[in-house]
Every structure is written in C-alpha cells, then in structure tokens.
C-alpha cells in the first residue's frame, strides 16, 4: 500500500521544505524547542550574525523566550541627567 507524501512547511516563513530547492542553498534543521523543521535561514542567529545559535532554535521560539532585544526598548529606557 502506498501512502501519500505530504510536503513539510517551514513554521517560520511558511514555505515548503523541498530537497531540490533547499539542499544546496542552506538546507533545513529541527528546532530544539518546538521540534519543527525550519529553513536554516529561519534559525536564530548566535553571537556572530552568520553563525546560528546552539542549541538550534527557530526565530519564533527565540522571540517567545524574549531573547531578541528590540530597538524600541533601548530608546524607552530613562536616562539620568544632571548633577
């Protein structure tokens, strides 16, 4: 009996994970938190921008953890002025 093969989609960008498209252009990996397959480019960055964080965590899970500092939070911080 043959079962239909359902294509997997990246949970971050919602695009398909096809070997003919992504095998030579980055590939994919499994997120350590949500256990979903995501494109390599959809993984959270590490200390160096072009390297990925270990353990492998997708951008969605990293944002949910609060690991991504937003530029607006830096601007909203009060600054003490004067003597």
- Give the per-residue pLDDT at 65: 85
Q: Is residue 76 part of a domain?
A: no
- Give the per-residue pLDDT at 33: 92
pLDDT by 10-residue block (mean), the chain, 83 residues: 70 81 70 89 85 88 73 50 65
Number of domains in the chain: 1
Helix (H, G, I), strand (E, B) or coil at 53: coil
- Give the per-residue pLDDT at 22: 57
- Give the per-residue pLDDT at 83: 59
The sign of the torsion formed by the CA atoms of 61, 64, 68, 72 equals positive
Q: Is residue 52 part of a domain?
A: yes
User: What pairs with residue 38 in β-bridges?
Assistant: 29
Q: Is residue 83 part of a domain?
A: no
**Structural domain boundaries, residue 23:** 19-67
């Amino acid at each position: 009996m043959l079962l239909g093969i359902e294509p997997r989609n990246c949970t971050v960008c919602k695009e398909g994970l096809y070997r003919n498209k992504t095998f030579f252009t980055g590939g994919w990996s499994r997120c350590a938190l949500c256990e979903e397959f995501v494109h390599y480019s959809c993984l959270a960055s590490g200390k160096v921008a072009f390297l990925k964080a270990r353990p492998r965590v997708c951008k969605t899970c990293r944002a949910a953890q609060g690991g991504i500092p937003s530029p607006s939070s830096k601007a909203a911080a009060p600054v003490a002025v004067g003597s």
